[in-house]
Every structure is written in C-alpha cells, then in structure tokens.
Structure 1
Amino acid sequence: MIRYDLTGKTALVTGGASGIGFATAKMLAGFGATVAVNFLADDPRGPEAVETLAATGARAIAAPGSVGEAGAAEAMVQKAVADLGRLDLLVNNAGTPGTRHRIAPPQLDLITEDLWSLLLEVNLLGVFRCAKAAAPALKAAGGAIVNTASIAGLGRAGSSLAYSATKAGVVSLTQNLARALAPEVRVNAIAPGAVDSSWMVEWTDEERQQSIDRALLKRRCQPEDLAEVILFLGFGAAMVTGQTVTVDGGLTL
C-alpha cells in the first residue's frame, strides 16, 4: 500500500458511515487527515463512525445531511468546510440502489418514476451539488474530487437499468467537472465491481459466487481496496484528471 503524510490535510466523505465511505474516512484519518464524515441525519451509524474514528486518536467531525436534497446538500458542504477550515479532498461516495432486490432489465414495470427520481437526486444530482458547493474551497487548496461511479455505469448490468444510467451519468459528470474546475482541481472517479460491504441490494448466494468465479483475481473487492484507489486519486496521480478507474478484480474482463 502507498503511504501518505496527510498531516494538515482535510477531506469530506459523503456516505461515510459504512462500506467504501467509512473505509476511506478511516484510511484518510489514519494517514493524518482531518475528515468530515457525512451521513443521513437519522442514520445511527453516522455518529458511531465518527466516535470509532475519534477513539483511535483520529481527527473526525460529523457532517450530517442528505446529498439528495437541494439546499440541504450545499448547506452540509458549506458547514463541513467551515468546520474543517479548508478542503483538500471531496469524496462523492453517497449513493443508493433504491431497491433491495435486483430488477432485471426486462422488468420495466418495476422501474417507476419514484425510483428514477430517487436515484437521480442522490446518485447524480447529489454529486453535482456537493462538487459545486465545494468548488471554491477546493480551488483555494488546489484540491481534488473523487466520485464513486460503478461498473454498472460502464455497460455492465447493475441493480437496475435506472441505477446503471445514473452511474453512467457520474462518469460523464466526472469528465465535465474536470473540464469545469481545471486547472486548480482534479476530478476523477472509481468504478467498483462487486464489493463486500453493507449495501441495500440483497444479492443471492449464486449471484455472489458468480461475481467471484468471473473475476480474474477470484475474489470480491473489500471496501479498503476502493479506499486505497480513492486516496491515490486524491493525493497522488498529479497528472490524472477526468478519468474513471475500474476497481473490480478483473470482473469486467
């Protein structure tokens, strides 16, 4: 693993209470950064995550708020920046599948207007809202943004066709935010494959095993595998911007 000295650096991680978000916050804090952990205000895992980090001696603050709500997302970012004092990295990780069970592509009747609205608000507009609100602070710090896309946004079937479409939107938005915020801010994304983390979709044992069998590296990603790449894109990779890095153990191959 690449190691970083992030003393004096700061980061805001959306969806930071569990899974990839928490692993990223923990890794950032472990290398010395002060981390604002975003979570839904009614999610008990949020305060627990902040307490867990603080118990290790890490510098972590709570940043509750919904990225899927216009106004609330921007207010959350602005308060987090004020509390941190500066912002070097924004990790746009918050997202939702909007369903507990996979909706196969032919099941169009299950793709409702409500599902579309939820996924667009959280997975796509949430990324834009937070990036726009954080842009002044990131420009001042010469910072970076890392978005969480998905292999579902790169042509693979995801939890639903609506979910895949929003993640494809994140890939495109990443490229265009890189154009919009250059040269001061780099903007990249990761595209996770199958990840062992707390996620709303209840994959069957067969589907889970298939994701292992089809991967070249013969295992599913751990949240820490994604966190490592996020840190590289955030604090290394000085000439990389507008890119989406697939992290799937060779599943898409």
Structure 2
Amino acid sequence: MTAEERVALVTGGATGIGRATCVELARRGIRNIHIGYSRSADAAESLVAELAELGATGHPLRIDVSDRDAVGQAATQLLATSGGLDILVNSAGVTKKIDFTDLDAITPELWDEILGTNLLGAFWVCQAFAETLKERGGSIVNVSSISATRVVGSSLPYSVSKAALSQLTRALAVALAPTVRVNAVVPGTVLSGWHERLVGTEAAQAGFEAEARLVPMGRLADAADIGEAIATLALGMGFATGQEIIVDGGKALRY
C-alpha cells in the first residue's frame, strides 16, 4: 500500500505534538488524516487548511478518548468516511502540575481524569480500531514521556500513567502481532505550549533555559522534532515493535 492510500488518525491532533505529527504525515504523503480532538475545534479546523496546502485532506473528528462509547462512535464515523485505518497515533493527554511530595493534592477524581485519558483512553482507541488495523497491516505509535522511567514531570499521576502506557505498548505489540506494529515515542521536555499552560510563561521559560544547558544537542525539542520521530516509527522501521524511542537530544543520558 502506498502512502497516498493510507489513512491516519492522530488523537490530540489539533495542537502541540499531535498537530506537528499530522503535518509531518502529510509531508510524507499521507493524504487522509483524521484530526482527533476533544475541545480544540477551532484549532482542528485551522489544521485542515494547513494540511490542504500539503495536498492532504484533514478530517476533524471529535473524540473524548476517556469515554469508551464516544470512542466507538468516532470509530464508526471514521470507518464510514475512509473505509479503514492504517496509522494510529495516541497523542491525547492531560495532566496537572502538582509537586511529587504533595500527596494530599492527588484526588480520586484526578486519578480518574489522568488515567482515563493517558492510559485507558489509548487502550479504548486501540481496541476500537484493532480489527481494521489488523486487516490492513497497520501501525500504532503511542506518545509516552521520559517521566515514565524517571521521577520527573508535572505530577505523580502523570508519571504513573505514562509508565503504564509504556507497558501497554509492549503488551499490545504482542497482542496485535504479527500484522500490527505498536511502538512508542518518549519525549523529554518539548517546546509546545504545554509547560506554559501548566506553570505560566515566565516560569516555563526560566526552566527551559536551565534545562537546555544540560542537553547534549544544545537545545530542547520542539513539537516538530517529536512529530518527525512519530512519523518515522509509523511509516518505517518495519521490523520494530514493542519499542520505545527516546527523543530528547540526549538529555536522558544526564539525569
């Protein structure tokens, strides 16, 4: 199957890493790209125009990944529109900034929200599209985080959710073999607007400047760096499955 014949879905696809992934897939010849979003309808619509300039058709698809029934409805809509799915990128994610020592700030509702999106949401989407991905020899790429293996990041629940997503990646690689490959990209800090929303622009910028000095490649990643890695895993590396690729300019070597 040529790139032009393949169909992609990127959850969390309207902003940040997801948006950059949609753009990179279009640059590599994918012509049907479903832009999964939950709240960013305007951003999804603007991405449609950007993808059109690259020769791709963008399909905004409202999908609350934490709601299994809503995922099923979105899957029905996508299959009716495009007939199948070849590339699934699970980029939807949520978090809240909480110091790791502040255990009292972690509520049952927060666990439900973060695990419901970052872990269960990825599973519900994979479950909904498993059959079409198997029929078409598809590829899944999950967006994990360096906080999956180190006690860093925005919060304890976020770190735990990404650690679980890494194990889900490995488990699905076995469960969906041999026809579907399942891998994960593991970003470090990414200049995507995420941190500014969590801690404010000034605090985020100070943190970026301090951290960049520790990166062997001399800078932090931007969303396009991660989108490039996701597209590479999705479209190439055809004998790799169950793997995690750290994309952080070598920063993890210095933790």
Q: TM-score, normalised by structure 2?
A: 0.92
User: Counterpart of 1:222?
Assistant: 222
User: Counterpart of 1:73?
Assistant: 71
- Distance across 2 between alignment mates of 1:226 and 1:162: 23
**Deviation digits for residues 204-233 of structure 1 (CA, Å, limit 9, x no counterpart):** 233222221121112110111111111111
- 1:88, 1:143 within 8 Å by CA — same for their partners in 2? yes
1:153 to 148, 151, 173: 148
Say whether residues 1:11 and 2:8 are aligned partners.
yes
User: Counterpart of 1:35?
Assistant: 33
User: How far is 1:63 from its partner?
Assistant: 1.0
User: Counterpart of 2:245?
Assistant: 245
Identity %: 39
- Distance across 2 between alignment mates of 1:173 and 1:57: 34
User: How far is 1:78 from its partner?
Assistant: 2.9
- Distance across 2 between alignment mates of 1:31 and 1:59: 13
- Distance across 1 between alignment mates of 2:66 and 2:13: 15
- Distance across 1 between alignment mates of 2:167 and 2:81: 31
Q: How many residue pairs end up in the alignment?
A: 246
User: Counterpart of 1:213?
Assistant: 213
- Distance across 1 between alignment mates of 2:56 and 2:5: 12
Q: 1:45 to 1:185 in 2, by over 3 A?
A: same
Which consecutive residues of structure 1, in runs of 5 or more, have no partner in the other structure? none
- Distance across 2 between alignment mates of 1:26 and 1:42: 16
- Distance across 1 between alignment mates of 2:151 and 2:232: 25
User: How far is 1:30 from its partner?
Assistant: 2.1
- Distance across 1 between alignment mates of 2:184 and 2:66: 19
User: How far is 1:32 from its partner?
Assistant: 2.2
- Distance across 1 between alignment mates of 2:52 and 2:62: 17
Instruction: Report the RMSD for the aligned CA atoms in angstroms.
Output: 1.5
**Deviation digits for residues 90-119 of structure 1 (CA, Å, limit 9, x no counterpart):** 00110011x2xx322111121121111100
Runs of 4+ deviating beyond 3 Å: none
Letter matched to residue 78 of structure 2: A
**Deviation digits for residues 55-103 of structure 1 (CA, Å, limit 9, x no counterpart):** 4432211111211112112221232133122211000110011x2xx32
User: How far is 1:191 from its partner?
Assistant: 0.7
Which consecutive residues of structure 2, in runs of 5 or more, have no partner in the other structure? none
User: Counterpart of 1:118?
Assistant: 113
- Distance across 1 between alignment mates of 2:56 and 2:7: 12
1:179 to 170, 174, 177: 174
User: Counterpart of 1:61?
Assistant: 59
Q: TM-score, normalised by structure 1?
A: 0.92
